[in-house]
Amino acid sequence: MMLSMALLNVVAFAAAEAAAPAVVPKPVSLERGTGAFTLDDATRVTFPAGDAAAEAAAAMLGEALRPATGLPLAAGPGSEGANTIHLRTEETGLGPEGYRLEVAGDRALITGAAGPGLFYGVQTLRQLLPAAVFGAARAEGTVWTVPCVRVEDRPRFAWRGMLLDTARHFTPLAFVKKFVDTLALHKMNRLHLHLTDDQGWRIEIKKYPKLTEVGAWRAETLVGHYTKKPRTFDGKRHGGFYTQDEIRDLVAYAAARHVTIMPEIEMPGHAQAAIAAYPELGNVSEPLPVLTYWGVNPNIFNPEESTILFLQDVLAEVADLFPGTYIHIGGDEATKEQWEKSPAVQKRMADLGLEDEDRMQSYFISRMNDFLKGRGKKLVGWDEIMDGGLGADATVMAWRSVDKGITAAKAGHDVVMAPTAFTYFDYYQAPAKGEPLGIGGFLPLKKAYSFDPVPGELDAAAAARVLGAQAQLWSEHIPTPEHCEYMAFPRACALAEIVWTPQAARDYEDFTARLEEHLKRLKNAGVNFRPLDK
């Protein structure tokens, strides 16, 4: 039988209508009704007078929809009604990050118990519109319809994060903000900023200006893979840092999108940029430059009282700048050879009655933990902070393996799962031959999606210690924002679903089918994702 083109089009349209909308991360419950709500010049965005959380979410909705639609979407206090998108704070039983979204033929209603839930309802509504809504310029001729749906949604985990390494390559502030936007679209809520390392110190500290005057700049950068010998360099000075005003601006920008920025100040290892600025913080007498190549390096902070007080001064300024509860103090890959060789460190250990270097590090970390607690903050560190003993109130970020997270959870620590095998997005996502140079590893999308942050062997009490998961974008081999996005997406879409959607509702085939549509959104948003393999 021959079908006319017109009839074929009708059939195709009906099929598209019937398909479940391609929302990423997949909502807990999405029921498709019949029909659609079409936005037009008269559509208003309303919220109850005095409902500040709904007003803020309405502002974000207008900001997201106006550029591409060109619709006025006049916003103001008002009630639910025909041709409105109404937002309202209301107890939903879905927690502060949960929301309900109901779209009928002539209206949409978003309810949430608090600001985050309302904001996530807005993110889902954006994804129900044609993908053209994500463009920065007006998309003429698009009909702005939203299918009739009823969505009830809430996240699986409280910690839904990504790490940006601003130290190995300086990350321009405008890109950090764009990254926050893309995280928020995926209902992610933590951005871990790795701010200090051997190759650069990226945050202004008023009390110690040389940290950025000296520490934010390196003479040049290694060319090629970090293992390649002999080393060759590009001869170009590289660096940059965020002023405290810029940090405040970024923190506010992220907060408006319900993303908490967690700073990381590395200690005692990954410290060479700071030691280059203030040599008395180190263990050797010769001056050190800001490091120009990659890898684990022996120049770590000494554990003298003066160094501990210096770093507490730094943390005091950092704690004042970042309103979030958690401060990350690093703690990874601090090789102890300089401490073993240093008479001063050996005397310090003897004076304190500490029998080995792991206990010296444990003491160092405990001093930071006590200091942060005194400021109402919680310490997070990479899993090596457990070596030599760790206060139960410290949170462990398990990177070397899932097993480290299991050990930490069983010992009563809160845990963020960040294992190399599943969450190191600096690893290759396809065979290296067709990809830009990377650090190594192999983490294709399917493997990334297969991760479950709660391993089966945890009992209910230990499982409840898993706050969530995050992925890492270490930037040794990721020098530009475009490359960073290429490594992040679409694997971060998979991660978003891992940390948001109930495990039983996740399915890789279903995810990749939705991803086809979702990547159109990212394309329109100007995100340089890696295309799916055909």
Which residues make up the interface to ligand ACM (CB under 6 A)?
332-333, 382, 399
Burial class, 427, CB count within 10 angstroms (exposed 0-12 / middle 13-18 / buried 19+): buried
Our separate counts of H helices and E strands in the chain read 18, 19
Nearest to 331 by CA among 290, 301, 352: 301
Output the CA–CA distances (angstroms, integers) from residue 477 to 32, 227, 426, in the order listed.
44, 12, 8
Q: Clarify whether 333 is annotated catalytic.
A: yes
The answer to whether 408 and 398 have CB atoms below 8 angstroms apart is yes
Chain residue at closest Cβ approach to ligand ACM = 332
- How near is the Cβ of 296 to ligand ACM at its closest, in Å? 8
Which two tokens mark 302?
Answer: 């000494």
Alpha helices in 19-152 (DSSP H): 52-69, 115-128
Of 339 and 424, nearer to ligand ACM (C-beta) is 424
351 is catalytic: no
Whole-number Å distance between alpha carbons of 139 and 524: 10
> Of residues 106, 152, 332, 333, which has the active-site annotation?
333
Say if residue 490 is preceded by a cis peptide, omega within 30 of 0.
Answer: yes
Pick the catalytic residue: 97, 153, 197, 414? 197
| Shortest Cβ 429–ligand ACM spacing (Å) | 18
Q: How many Cα neighbours within 13 Å face the side chain of 231? A: 13
- Shortest distance (Å) from residue 65 CB to ligand ACM: 39
Q: Which residues contact 341 (CB under 8 A, 6 or more apart)?
A: 283
CB nearer to ligand ACM: pick between 139 and 418: 418
Q: What is the rounded CA–CA span in Å between residue 16 and residue 335?
A: 57
Q: Is 357 a catalytic residue?
A: no
399 versus 427: smaller Cβ distance to ligand ACM: 399
Residue number, 99 or 474, with CB nearest to ligand ACM: 474
- Our CB check for ligand ACM shows the closer of 313 and 333 to be 333
- Choosing from 270, 328, 413, 518, which is the catalytic residue? 270
Sheet holding 99-104, edge to edge: 29-38, 145-153, 99-104, 107-112, 84-89, 44-47, 74-77
Q: Which is nearer to ligand ACM, 322 or 399 (CB)?
A: 399
Which active-site residues does the annotation give? 197, 270, 333
